[in-house]
């Protein structure tokens, strides 16, 4: 037999790991991630030099660190993408438990670095943000619970995953980190929908989220200030949103020229949360559209490949990871053009940040592992077999 039962890919006995990985990996998505990382380094050369000079550091201090963290992220991505789905699930659960414990201890040992939100651990030479590493682990454990609920006599996994989601969201809201909380809720909602949740229930949950937002507006000055700034008719030109909006307008279609932008001298977060403003000002709408296309292509290709999978866990986990990846990019760029309230969320693989880029590498590595072509992996073969 040249093919395994129900499958469409030859099983090559004794094939080495690397050739098998290269033959089955989604090369287009992998290439897209590499291009995004390269764009991130290019923009880092422009955006981070002014900040380094202000802090009395070497001009390319942040670019060098981003390159170091990026190599670690790409290595983690490659290594994770070579794993089997079962191994990814085991490591994802372990990683989630470790990140969740770190998240719970933030109020005691964490720091805010003067930004008004306790989200980080200071390690001296670097910082660590647990919520970034929590996201991929959360998707894995939620998908596992939901998939188990579909088995005969399986546990009430959907209920367990919902309770877990609420607990995590509450911990994130205490920091406060409403952006990550919204992303966690979105990832869970997408997986719950794919798992077969009724629209009525999702509507009720959506109503509860809105009610929670109103409550947060009433009790959190930090949250209310950002919502008020977003709803204000006029933009204060001295705020980060004001600087970013002006930079995007100045860039036009082709930008003002490499190194000619001025927003990087005004925005303290030009190399992180608002790096898309630097791209728009110096390289124009052309580069912004390229970046949007790359995120859209990676997300769409992953979802299309997952449609062929018949394993519920792989479909759910892969869908959650792909949608979280795409929506995080959408939120970051939406904030910069004032389509969304400010949330303090990085642009995956492009923004500066050790925790962000490494966690993104792990998450995309998991996604590439789930979207690899495997024998018996196509749901169409399974449905044809059942119809006979």
Q: How many domains does the chain have?
A: 1
Give the number of other Cβ atoms within 10 Å of residue 60's Cβ.
15
Please check whether residue 277 lies inside any domain of the structure.
Answer: yes
More confidently predicted of 224 and 382: 224
3-state secondary structure of 283: helix
Please check whether residue 9 lies inside any domain of the structure.
Answer: no
Range of the domain at 296: 26-371
Backbone angles phi, psi at 127, to 5 degrees: -125, 160
Please check whether residue 140 lies inside any domain of the structure.
Answer: yes
Give percent of the chain above pLDDT 90. Answer: 41
Look at the alpha carbons of 153, 190, 78, 29 in this order and tell me if their dihedral is positive or negative.
Answer: positive
Q: What is the pLDDT of residues 241-285, one digit of tens each?
A: 777 888 888 888 888 887 777 777 777 777 788 888 888 889 999
Please check whether residue 291 lies inside any domain of the structure.
Answer: yes
More confidently predicted of 264 and 320: 320
Please check whether residue 13 lies inside any domain of the structure.
Answer: no
Q: Give, in degrees to the nearest 5, the angle at Cα 244 between 243 and 248.
A: 120
Q: What is the pLDDT of residues 9-43, one digit of tens each?
A: 444 556 778 888 899 999 999 999 999 999 999 88
Please check whether residue 145 lies inside any domain of the structure.
Answer: yes
Rounded average pLDDT over 73-89: 95
3-state secondary structure of 121: strand
């Amino acid at each position: 037999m040249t093919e395994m039962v129900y499958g469409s890919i030859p099983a090559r006995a004794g094939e080495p790991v690397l050739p098998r990985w290269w033959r089955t990996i989604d090369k287009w998505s992998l290439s897209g991630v590499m291009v995004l990382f390269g764009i991130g380094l290019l923009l880092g050369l422009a955006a981070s030099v002014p900040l380094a000079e202000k802090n009395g550091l070497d001009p390319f201090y942040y670019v060098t660190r981003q390159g170091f963290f990026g190599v670690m992220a790409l290595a983690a991505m490659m290594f994770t993408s070579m794993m089997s789905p079962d191994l990814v699930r085991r490591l994802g659960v372990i990683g989630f438990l470790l990140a969740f414990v770190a998240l719970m201890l933030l109020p005691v040992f964490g720091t805010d670095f003067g930004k008004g939100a306790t989200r980080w651990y200071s390690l001296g030479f670097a910082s660590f943000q647990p919520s970034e590493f929590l996201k991929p682990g959360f998707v894995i454990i939620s998908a596992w619970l939901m998939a188990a609920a579909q088995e005969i006599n399986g546990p009430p996994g959907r209920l367990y995953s919902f309770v877990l989601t609420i607990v995590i969201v509450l911990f994130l809201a205490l920091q406060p980190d409403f952006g990550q909380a919204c992303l966690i809720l979105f990832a869970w909602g997408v997986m719950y929908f794919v798992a077969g949740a009724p629209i009525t229930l999702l509507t009720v949950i959506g109503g509860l989220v809105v009610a929670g937002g109103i409550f947060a507006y009433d009790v959190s000055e930090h949250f209310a200030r950002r919502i008020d700034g977003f709803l204000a008719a006029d933009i204060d030109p001295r705020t980060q949103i004001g600087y970013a909006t002006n930079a995007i307008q100045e860039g036009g279609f082709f930008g003002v020229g490499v190194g000619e932008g001025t927003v990087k001298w005004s925005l303290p977060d030009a190399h992180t949360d608002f790096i898309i403003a630097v791209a728009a000002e110096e390289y124009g709408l052309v580069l912004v559209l390229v970046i949007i296309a790359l995120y859209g292509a990676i997300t769409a290709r992953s979802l299309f490949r997952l449609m062929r999978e018949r394993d519920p866990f792989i479909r759910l986990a892969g869908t959650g990871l792909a949608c979280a990846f795409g929506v995080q990019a959408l939120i970051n760029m939406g904030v910069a053009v004032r389509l969304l309230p400010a949330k303090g969320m990085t642009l995956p693989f492009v923004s500066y940040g050790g925790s962000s880029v490494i966690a993104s590498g792990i998450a995309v590595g998991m996604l590439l592992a789930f979207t690899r072509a495997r024998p018996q992996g196509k749901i169409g073969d399974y449905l044809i077999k059942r119809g006979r």
